[in-house]
Amino acid sequence: MPPDQLNHPIIYFDNAATSWPKPVGMMAAMINYNEQIGGSPGRSGHQRSLDAGRVILEAREALAELFGCDDSLRIAFTKNATEALNIALSGILNPGDHVITSSMEHNSVLRPLRYLESQGVQISIVSCSGDGRLDAEDVRAAIRPQTRMLVVTHASNVTGTIQPIAELGKIAGHHGIIFCVDAAQTAGALPIHVDEMAIDLLAFSGHKSLFGPQGTGGLYVREGLEKQLRPLMMGGTGSRSEFEGQPDFMPDKYESGTPNTIGIAGLGAGVRFVLAEGVEAIRSKEEMLTTRFLAGLAALPGVTVYGPPDAASRTSVVSFNIAGVSPSEAALEFDEHFGILCRPGLQCAPAAHRTIGTFSQGTIRFGFGYFNKDEEIDLALEAIQSLAGGGAPH
């Protein structure tokens, strides 16, 4: 191993991809499930099976509390936010339907939509501003009689730009349109209240700001909507076993097969951590880290920053470029010589890069998290300065 990698402690700035470290309780909950419980939830009726079911219920209840939902059974667990989005999109939309989305979406929204488009669904992609902002009035203008659904990211995974979800929820509600929010970047990081924001479908990731392990995520479904929402998978649910038809009620309709119980045990602990710390406190710290970083970047010549200028308008995600250095070169330098871990390129969101004008080269993306420190930000600014100052020709 090259000496540089041994000498530098890791500065983990890729929380937008997956969070690290996790709170101590996450692993403890998973070990506890493995050693003390085991058992298949909802299947066998013996004490270990029931205990496994209780672990899952507790995770559901913690999430319901976090999202301001009064019925925890409105939440179905999926393996990630992408699966939740696929259920929401292909489960609702039929050929001839019209769906509205934004130009800042992740491929986990766009790819299912492009496939549905090939099957006869009409899509309108509403353009966002150069710093990634969606104007709710532009969405209103795109509504047609056939508009069935509005699907929008709560915040961009490229620029961190926070979209006006509450305003969009009002517009969707007023027009009887189903409102689906991609909260992969925001669950746990920003306040989300499904009733106040009039959200009908909320797709969330378990392994980012909810501090669960990978392999967890879920979909909140507004009461009654499950009657229209087709599942992606069908199969054994441990309920109504005498029937060969899929259950038509929450959450079983979308939870076929054995769940990732050990993962959900970890997710439950992660969500309890977020509730204990408070989303406001987490947000405040992340905003301070971002403010410190943006201020430092502004002082460096040769650095271009994308997205809104103020930390209040974005999550703790910053995309930037250094003149004369490609993003992948920079990311490699950061990793090998400074121990800074980040994500270069298009971050699975080519549409967002087209919107901000970086499709050809991509960007360097830093994603700060609750466990990052001021000193790490300062070290990163020094690293960027050294690359910007003596940037290698490409």
Partner 1 sequence: MEEQRYVVFLFPSVSYALKAEKILKVAGIAHKLIPVPRDISSDCGVCVRITEDKQQDVERELLGKVGWDKVLLL
* Member of 108, 161, 237, 316 binding partner 1 (CB under 8 A): 237
Instruction: Point out which residues pair with 162 in neighbouring strands.
Output: 155
Q: Is residue 242 part of the contact set for partner 1 (CB under 8 A)?
A: yes
Output the smallest distance, CB 216 to partner 1, in A: 17
Instruction: Point out which residues pair with 155 in neighbouring strands.
Output: 162
Q: Which two tokens stand for residue 299?
A: 């002082």
* Member of 72, 82, 153, 319 binding partner 1 (CB under 8 A): 72
Which among 121-129, 193-201, 239-247, 350-358 is the span making contact with partner 1, rule CB under 8 A? 239-247
What single-letter DSSP state applies at residue 337? I
- The residue (of 72 and 316) whose beta carbon lies closer to partner 1 is 72
- The residue (of 48 and 111) whose beta carbon lies closer to partner 1 is 48
Give the Cα separation of 197 and 271 in Å (integer): 20
* Member of 71, 195, 336, 378 binding partner 1 (CB under 8 A): 71
Do the beta carbons of residue 311 and residue 283 sit within 8 Å? no
Closest by CA to 125, choosing from 84, 109, 115, is 109
- The residue (of 54 and 373) whose beta carbon lies closer to partner 1 is 54
Phi, psi of 170 (to 5 degrees): -65, -45
- The residue (of 235 and 278) whose beta carbon lies closer to partner 1 is 235
Q: Is 3 exposed, middle or buried (0-12, 13-18, 19+ CB in 10 A)?
A: exposed
163 Cβ contact partners less than 8 Å away, ≥ 6 residues apart: 102, 104, 133, 134, 152, 153, 154, 155, 156
50 Cβ contact partners less than 8 Å away, ≥ 6 residues apart: 39
Give the footprint of partner 1 on residues 138-177 (CB under 8 A).
Answer: none
Which among 28-36, 38-46, 80-88, 127-135 is the span making contact with partner 1, rule CB under 8 A? 38-46
Total residues contacting partner 1 by CB under 8 A comes to 25
* Member of 241, 360, 375, 393 binding partner 1 (CB under 8 A): 241
Q: Is residue 367 part of the contact set for partner 1 (CB under 8 A)?
A: no
Give the Cα separation of 280 and 289 in Å (integer): 14
Helix (H, G, I), strand (E, B) or coil at 256: coil
Site string for partner 1, 191-230 (x = CB under 8 A): ----------------------------------------
In the chain, DSSP finds a helix count (H) and a strand count (E) of 12, 13
Which among 13-21, 71-79, 225-233, 346-354 is the span making contact with partner 1, rule CB under 8 A? 71-79
* Member of 17, 18, 32, 44 binding partner 1 (CB under 8 A): 44
Site string for partner 1, 248-277 (x = CB under 8 A): -x-xx-------------------------
**Amino acid, single-letter form, for residue 230:** R
Output the smallest distance, CB 380 to partner 1, in A: 45
- The residue (of 39 and 327) whose beta carbon lies closer to partner 1 is 39
Q: Is residue 355 part of the contact set for partner 1 (CB under 8 A)?
A: no
Q: In what order do the strands lie in the sheet with 217-221?
A: 75-78, 217-221, 201-205, 178-182, 147-153, 98-102, 122-126
Do the beta carbons of residue 79 and residue 246 sit within 8 Å? no
Residues at the interface with partner 1 (CB under 8 A): 41-45, 50, 53-54, 56-57, 60-61, 71-73, 237-242, 247, 249, 251-252
